[in-house]
Structure 1
Amino acid sequence: MARPKKDKCITYTKDVHFRLTETEYEILQKTAHDSNLSVSEYVRKVLNNQKVIVNYNLVADVPEIKKLLAEFGKIGSNLNQIAKYFNQGGILSQEMRGEINKRLRDLYEMKYKVMEMAGDFHGNTETYRK
């Protein structure tokens, strides 16, 4: 059984040839691959100003990151409980103010842990600051 014919408007009849440097071609190939498209299809979409979505999947099986994600979840749960309390008409007491400050302090501590880890994985972050 023969393959069905494409519509005339879908058939590609023109070839375009142009030169790229090795680096340009690698970038083009990588971007097309990350978009789950062939190089030809990627170039067609770019030419037609269509939105091209590039997906990057970062995979890191680091116990410290898993621990931090669990802590973020717990803090988020606590903040949701605080928001629910105020949305139901709760008043701001010293105890509640202390709880809010404690959660904010936890978030800042975690922020610095993440910054430390990023420095460990990608070099010193101070090097790139101006």
Structure 2
Amino acid sequence: MARPKKEQSLRRSHPVMLRFTDTEYERLSFHAEAARLPLAEYIRRQVTGKTVKVKYEVVADLPELKKLIAEFGKIGSNLNQIARHFNSGGIHSQEMRKKIDQGISDIYEMKYEVLKIAGDFRSLSPGDTAVQKGDSLHGNPETYRQ
């Protein structure tokens, strides 16, 4: 079965010949590949002013980051044990509450360490223009300190 023909208004019937230097061509090819588009489509979008979204994949293989991930796993295990204790009718005590608060504080501190190592890739929402002094995008470990 043959492919259906496009409508006349959708057909691209006007070829344009462009010549690029090796450097220009490599640069265009690199950007088209980063945008995951064929070269012709990338150039077409650039010329017509349409937006081209480029997605970057960041991979970090840092020993510090691996250590923090292991710590997060241990904390998750501890939180599961605490939840199991409370769900099985365990007694709520001040000591237990302090340990939970300390654990939450430790989690926030590790989060800050991760952000220092890997950088903060969180973008502000369109309505946010700046972070007010004292405001935090990631919570405050001091909230849980006793």
Report the counterpart of residue 85 of structure 2 in structure 1: 85
Deviation at 1:89, TM superposition (A): 4.1
The answer to whether structure 1 residue 112 and structure 2 residue 130 are counterparts is no
Aligned: 1:7 with 2:24:
no
Opposite residue 71 of structure 1, the aligned amino acid is E
| Alignment coverage as a number of residue pairs | 109
Kindly indicate whether the alpha-carbon contact (under 8 Å) linking 1:35 and 1:53 is maintained by their aligned counterparts in 2: yes
Secondary structure, aligned partner of 1:61: coil
Inter-partner Cα distance in structure 2 for 1:118 and 1:93: 37
Q: Identical aligned pairs, as a percentage?
A: 51
Structure showing the higher helix proportion among its residues: 1
What is the CA distance between 1:115 and its match in structure 2?
4.2
**Offset at residue 27 of structure 1 (A):** 8.6
* Secondary structure, counterpart of 2:109 in structure 1: helix
Match of 2:123 in 1: none
- What is the distance in 2 between the residues matched to 1:41 and 1:114? 38
Deviation of 1:66 after TM superposition, in Å, equals 0.8
Q: Which residue of 1 aligns with 2:138?
A: none
1:103 counterpart residue number: 103
CA RMSD of aligned residues (A): 4.5
The 1-side partners of 2:101 and 2:88 are apart by 20
Matched residue of 2:60: which SS? coil
Counterpart residue type for residue 67 of structure 2: K
SS of the counterpart of 2:69? helix
Specify the code of the residue in structure 1 equivalent to 2:58. L
Structure with larger RCO (C-alpha < 8 A, sep 6+): 2
Structure 1 spans left out of the alignment, 5+ residues:
18-25, 120-128
